[in-house]
Amino acid sequence: MLYCIVQRYYSIERHILFLLSILLCYGEILLQKRRDGLWEVPGGFIELGESTEEAGRREVLEETGIEIGKVDLVGVFSGKQHYVKLPNGDEFYPITIAYVSREIKGGVLKADGTETTEAKFFNMNKLPEGLNPMIKNLIKQYTYSQLV
């Protein structure tokens, strides 16, 4: 069981180059609804001069209003199954570096209104319709790794 300091906030898992961030606690996960209508975990790209850990913390704060602390590496994901084609036609194979954090430093849960139209906690057993398939798969992998 994960325990957090601030209200009902959870701990975070994230990925990079195509950063992902999962906030878990008390069996719930923080998801954000993107402009395309898909639910995902907070995430984005690394800015120049940032470490992957710094980028993950920044993305979580920018997109959800939650400030996290220490992060632990969960895994690195890559390969053909992660292929992405953007609406503008750009194509790439992201390298996703996932982290988990059990340290919530503060903040107030709110969507940024730019990339995120809604930010909400969901029970791990009741994930929303419209969950990005890649994120769904990563959540399954992370959950399974915690059972082994």
Domain boundaries, the chain: 11-147
Mention the CATH class of domain 11-147.
alpha beta
What are the tens digits of pLDDT across the range 58-99? Answer: 988 999 898 988 888 877 888 888 787 878 888 888 888 877
Residues of the chain with pLDDT under 50: 1-18
Please return the burial class of 51, using the count of CB atoms within 10 Å of its CB with bins 0-12, 13-18 and 19+: exposed
Q: Report yes or no: 68 and 41 within 8 Å, Cβ to Cβ.
A: no
Residue 106 CA, distance from chain mean position: 17
Residue 84 half-sphere exposure, CB side, CA atoms within 13 Å? 17
Catalytic residues: 118
pTM, rounded to two decimals: 0.75
Q: Residue 13 half-sphere exposure, CB side, CA atoms within 13 Å?
A: 25
Distances (CA, A) of 113 to 12, 55, 63, 122: 21, 19, 8, 20
Phi, psi dihedral angles at 87 (to 5 degrees): -55, -30
**Displacement of CA 29 from its chain's centroid (Å):** 9
